[in-house]
Amino acid sequence: MFSLSIQSIQFTIEIIATFAFALSGIIAGIKKRMDLVGLCIVSGVSAFGGGTLRDVLLDRRPFFWVSHSTWLWGLITLCLLAMFFMRERHITLTEKAIQIPDALGLGLFTALGTQIALGLGMPAIVAALMGMMTAVFGGVLRDICCNEIPKAFNDHQPYAVLAFLGSWVLIGLSALNLPEWLTLLLSASFTTLLRWLAIQFKWKLPGQKSALKN
């Protein structure tokens, strides 16, 4: 019989998603040849940015990374290990190296943010937006810190759209009264899989042609 509480499952998912987004931030920082301070900041905003925005908007205190401050030490340790490991082995990082952990974090944070909002009694549309913000905002901050236009806004690949869709999958499954752990797992897998397919098959969203002329 499944005996773990939903709080334990949410905590586990939050750890995995935080690690995945922190790793994407580290990879982005190393590609930009940042020092240790830069790596820690970029990985930190990647890992904690979306969840912090969610907690601010939902008025949840303390913030999830404040109540688990050991994560901050873990993040610093991860940055140190990654910097020296990749430098010693002269690993060449590609764009896809960021996309893999980013896709995992997208799915997990989408499901987690949506379920937290539902648990606080938020309307479905608010919960869907909270799930999307939790998943997307960390990557937006990561790209800004790396002096890039956020990929979620300009690469025309479905990203925020997939998070928003994944949020509604969790909302729909919750309406069926399925176990909370199962709705988390299914919706997170759905969003991650869609993001992976979008990367593999280069799905594109329609873009807006510029009306400006030279």
This prediction has a pTM of 0.83
Q: Distances from the Cα of 156 to the Cαs of 13, 23, 207, in angstroms?
A: 28, 23, 7
Q: Please state, in angstroms and rounded to a whole number, the distance separating the CA atoms of residues 122 and 140.
A: 24
- Asked if residue 127 has pLDDT above 90, the reply is yes
CA torsion sign for 127, 20, 138, 149 is: negative
Output 71 or 140, whichever has higher pLDDT: 140
What distance separates the 2 farthest-apart alpha carbons in the chain? 67
- Exposure of 168 by Cβ count < 10 A (0-12 exposed, 13-18 middle, 19+ buried)? middle
Q: Please state, in angstroms and rounded to a whole number, the distance separating the CA atoms of residues 209 and 145.
A: 27
Per-residue pLDDT tens over the stretch 4-22: 566 777 778 888 888 888 8
Give the mean model confidence (pLDDT) for residues 27-43: 88
Per-residue model confidence (pLDDT) at position 163 = 93
Output 145 or 87, whichever has higher pLDDT: 145
- The ranges assigned to domains in the chain are 6-200
Report residue 207's pLDDT band, with 50, 70 and 90 as the boundaries. Answer: low
Per-residue pLDDT tens over the stretch 58-98: 998 888 788 878 888 888 898 888 877 766 555 555 556 67
Give the mean model confidence (pLDDT) for residues 162-187: 92
Report residue 1's pLDDT band, with 50, 70 and 90 as the boundaries. Answer: very low
Q: Please state, in angstroms and rounded to a whole number, the distance separating the CA atoms of residues 89 and 112.
A: 35
The two tokens of residue 88 are 């010693």
- Exposure of 189 by Cβ count < 10 A (0-12 exposed, 13-18 middle, 19+ buried)? middle
Per-residue pLDDT tens over the stretch 175-205: 998 888 889 989 999 999 999 998 888 888 7
- Asked if residue 104 has pLDDT above 80, the reply is yes
